Amino acid sequence: MTNTTYNGHKNYETWNVSLWIQNDEGLYSVAQDAPNYYELLIFLQNNGIDETPDGVDYEHDALDYEALNEMVKSL
């Protein structure tokens, strides 16, 4: 059986976005005030932030939006 997850996440892109949200002090603070990932995404777009410092787009097609919503809600 092959493990098809990336550090417990669906894929690298979801892991990377989650990692940055939870480990960047400013982004974490903003995420704490967001009710879900979608609202956080709107804030990022309004502030010209389209991707993580590693180059993963915050709207990447491969993102597990359900998991990111749960993560933001839990902050």
Domains of the chain, by residue range, sit at 12-73
Q: Does pLDDT of 64 surpass 60? A: yes
The string of pLDDT tens digits covering residues 19-63 is 999 999 999 999 999 999 999 999 999 999 999 999 999 999 999
Handedness of CA 26, 31, 34, 37 (dihedral sign): positive
Give me 48's structure tokens: 């010209």
Q: Does pLDDT of 1 surpass 70? A: no
Q: Does pLDDT of 2 surpass 70? A: no
How far apart (Å, rounded) are the C-alpha atoms in residues 3 and 1?
7
Q: Looking at the whole model, is its pTM more than 0.85? A: yes
